[in-house]
Amino acid sequence: MQAVRLWSFGKVLVACVAWFLLSLVVIAVWLFFQVSGFYSQGEGAGVGAVSIGINEAMLAIPIVPPMILIVAWFVARRLKSS
């Protein structure tokens, strides 16, 4: 495996976008199964964000790891040039 400092910006960007899209797909599938379970129970209660477990940590999953990768890449490139 190549060191992160040797990656091009394009490769970092592709990895970040792939992570973001994969996270969104997984979250969408998870939400679908959460919501479909409520409809099959037939309780008639509304579906709220708290009742299906949406919180700040879940919303940070698609965003934080790409940010960490970009910062690590910038730091590694800076240390390489010094």
Are 80 and 5 spatial neighbours (Cβ–Cβ below 8 Å)?
A: yes
For residue 66, the Cα-to-chain-centroid distance in whole angstroms is: 8
What are the tens digits of pLDDT across the range 6-41? Answer: 999 999 999 999 999 999 998 888 888 777 765 555
Tokens matching residue 19: 């992570």
What are the tens digits of pLDDT across the range 32-67? Answer: 877 776 555 555 555 555 566 677 777 888 999 999
Please count the structural domains in the chain: 1
Cα–Cα distance, 80 to 5 (Å, whole number) = 7
The more confidently predicted of residues 41 and 81 is 81
Q: What is the pTM of this model?
A: 0.74
Angle between helices 64-81 and 9-41 (to 10 degrees): 170
Tokens matching residue 55: 């919180």
